[in-house]
Amino acid sequence: MKNIYFVQANNVYGNTRHSVYIPYASGCIAAYAFDNEKIKNSCRLAGFIYTHEPIKTAVSKLTDPFIVAFSCSVWNYEYNKALAKEIKKAYPEAVIIFGGHNVLRDFETFEECPEADILIYREGEEAFRQVVLSLLENKEPRSVSNIAYKSGGKYIKTKEEAFCLNEYPSPYLNGIFDGIADENVSFSAIIETNRGCPFKCAFCDWGTLGSRVRLFPMERIKAELDWIAEHKIEYVYCADGNFGIVDRDEDIAEYIISLKEKTGYPQNFRVCFTKNRTDFVKKICMRFNKHGLDKAQTLSFQSLSPVVLENIGRKNISLEHFRELMNEYNRLGISTSSELILGLPGETRESFTKGLCDLLEYGQHKAIQVYTCDLLPNSEMGSPEFVDKFGIETVKTPFSQAHCSANQKHEIQEYNSTVIKTASLNTDDWIFCVAFACIVQAFHNIGFFRAVAIYLRNELNISYYDIYSKIASFSQNPQNKACHSVFSLITSLTSGMSQGKNSWAVSCEGLGEICWQFDEIYFLKSLEKADELYNELEAFIKESFPFDEKINALFDYQRSILKRYGIKSKHEIKCDYDFYGYFSKIYKGDYSSLEKKENIISFSDGMSCADLYEYACKVIWYGRNQSAALYTSDCYKPEIKYY
């Protein structure tokens, strides 16, 4: 029997309790290959390498490999190249196959990794199976579509074509993962209910495949979910590009809910919802939310600039419809999250910062995720023609996954290709946009300054853009020591990122061994200096905006509702104004003026945190989308008594 090994090195999440994704992509390739009788009778699935274990350790696990197949992504590409090199040294006859998102559809990977013998493009199941069959017959794989290989010192590329299958055998059900499921690892699972995407966003590599959406059989999906529940896997990521795009997704959601009620698993089911069926998606989201499966509905834009949207081939829902959805989700108590990407072609400093604040204007107060734009090798945006057209410049930034241990000292560093400049956005403006986004995310979304900002917007008619632009300018001034210290830390990290010195997620003093995103650091460092920052900001607001006698009470309220660490579990907040009722109505789109009305807000803190690190994990990592940094959020079950 000939030994076939698969390599899909994933990141390990957490610090004390480690979690890793099961190697689903490789498992799919293996399941399809070993469904063939000739391969099954001639070869043995010898094992998976699914973390960045030391190169020597990984090589030592191999025994006379016939094929070693690598799944290549941004988080493991350099590791794969280094491991392939050592495997070839130890086993010169082994066939090295590279496939996955990071394999360009030309011969460049051969130049970067001379040890690779065969490259597989597009979806890999059919091509891998045919390659194995050719190798077993000692034939050149010239008739196999979607590959490149070496022959006689030359590179040969075969024709490209789409295989639109929907009857792939399941790696969960075919026993592919049986060998690793019992290992002492806390696995998270990936599942597909369909494959393909109808959209052609330029920053994504799915659009270039041009494959239709194919639905996997319901029997398979339910059986896979049963397997996940039986193996007590807590977290499941659904790899569908657009969950909710077809009506049957509601039935899938109900099956997942029934499994959790019956078995307790999965505990979380994370999806990327489709963007254009908002009412249908809302029904699913409400059910998931009620059962604690997926607590935040994504309402993503990527950009609010019409110029950018045209450049990247994307259409969004209207902002007015977005406002209606935000009000309704807030009325229902369902958290939402919106995404923006910084560095898309046509974006300017003004369009990005105003677009970010427009999301606040239309009701997204609680969760905006801002990502830097990374060029994916097989996306339209990553093509040389697109790069030249829009003046895109990138830098290699060290890859570091948020909320993974900073002590995972991989011997091989991975890299992103991060856009730091375009024809419309220079690097200095890019750095400012990152810092500005961190202010909005930390102060408004996470909640350090949210109550004050909402009050200023509604009572003094000051736009969120003006509020946060002034705070950004104020924080740039070294005389404002507390605000400046946090702002300058973030700009220093961002400047380092623009030079390729650090990544978007870094470890930080006082925050344990976990890597944190810049916006999370901005909030946590503000929390450490909370009293100083509030004093500076209160004086600044009084000087910068029209006089309002309620400002003192407003800042007292903002200070009081901010969750701190090392505080007793039960709390009471005494107020002269009905701030709680006032803000609750605004979230639901039902504004009424602030009443002078004595009240007490009481709650039990079920999220007590002894120190800043525990706070960072529980409140910012686990509880961010539920506004866990504010005692007025639902997770603390606040009760209000009026007098």
Residue 301: strand pairing partners: none
CATH of the domain at 50: 3.40.50.2300
Looking at the structure, tell me whether residues 153 and 6 fall in a common domain: yes
User: Given 293, 326, 352, which residue is the final one in a domain?
Assistant: 293
Instruction: State pLDDT tens for residues 246-293.
Output: 999 999 999 999 999 999 999 999 998 887 788 898 899 889 988 888
569 in any annotated domain = no
Q: How confident is the model at residue 624 (pLDDT cuts 50, 70, 90)?
A: confident
**Domain shared by 116 and 22, yes or no:** yes
Whether residue 248 is found in the same domain as residue 211: yes
For residue 521, give the H/E element and its range: helix 518-528
Same domain, 20 and 101: yes
Please check whether residues 191 and 277 belong to one and the same domain. Answer: yes
Which residues does 229 contact at the CB level (< 8 Å), separation at least 6?
Answer: 259, 262, 263, 264, 265, 266
Work out the burial of residue 482: count CB atoms within 10 Å of its CB; fewer than 13 is exposed, 13-18 middle, 19 or more buried. buried
Nearest-5° angle of CA 317, CA 323, CA 325?
75
Is 165 a residue whose pLDDT tops 80? no
Same domain, 205 and 133: no
The per-residue pLDDT for range 88-116, each reduced to its tens digit, is 999 999 999 999 999 988 899 999 999 99
Residue with the larger pLDDT of the pair 125 and 315: 125
Please give the pLDDT value at position 566: 82
- Given the structure tokens 């509601």, which residue do they identify? 250
Does 344 fall in a domain?
no
Residues 199 and 113 in one domain: no
How far apart CA 445 and CA 547 sit, in angstroms, is 26
Q: Are 231 and 262 in contact (CB under 8 A)?
A: no
| 43, part of any domain | yes
Asked whether residue 459 is assigned to any structural domain, the reply reads no
What value does the mean pLDDT take over residues 408-430? Answer: 90
Report the distance separating Cα 254 and Cα 489, nearest Å: 46
Mean pLDDT of 546-562: 95
Cα–Cα distance, 70 to 116 (Å, whole number) = 10
In a domain, 141, yes or no: yes
pLDDT mean across residues, the chain:
92
My answer on whether 82 and 196 are in the same domain is: no
Within a domain: 507:
no
Q: What is the domain extent for residue 259?
A: 185-293
- 206 and 139, same structural domain? no
Contact 296, 333 (CB under 8 A): no
Single residue among 244, 268, 293 that ends a domain in this structure: 293
DSSP category for residue 591: -
What confidence tier does 556 reach under pLDDT thresholds 50, 70, 90? very high
How far apart are the C-alpha atoms of 600 and 210, rounded to whole Å?
Answer: 58
Residue 18 has pLDDT above 80, yes or no: no
For 548-564, give one letter per residue: b (16+ CB within 10 A) or e.
eeebebbbbbbbbbbbe
Contact predicate 312/297, CB 8 Å: no
Task: Give me the numbers of helices (H) and strands (E) for the chain, helices first please.
Answer: 23, 24
> Could you tell me if 10 and 111 lie in one domain?
yes
Measured distance CA(508)–CA(526) in Å, rounded: 13
3-state secondary structure of 549: coil
* Total domains in the fold of the chain: 2
Output the CA torsion sign for 360, 539, 434, 411. Answer: negative
User: Is 137 inside a domain boundary?
Assistant: yes
Q: What is the CATH number of the domain that holds 210?
A: 3.30.750.210
Average pLDDT over residues 39-43: 96
- Distance (Å, whole) CA 279 – CA 40: 47
Other CB atoms within 10 Å distance of the CB of residue 620: 23
Last residue of a domain, one of 241, 263, 293: 293
- Tallying the residues shown for the chain, one arrives at 643
Which DSSP state fits 637?
A: -
- Within a domain: 274: yes
Query: Using an 8 Å Cβ cutoff, are 21 and 237 in contact?
Result: yes
pLDDT tens digits, residue range 381-406?
999 999 999 999 999 999 888 887 76
- Write the pLDDT tens digit of every residue in 125-145: 999 999 999 999 999 999 999
pLDDT band (50, 70, 90) for residue 5: very high
Pair (84, 125) in one structural domain? yes
Rg, C-alpha atoms of the chain: 26
Residue 418 scores a pLDDT above 90: yes
pLDDT recorded at residue 569: 67
| Of 209, 334, 207, nearest in space to 283 by CA | 334
Together in a domain, 29 and 149: yes
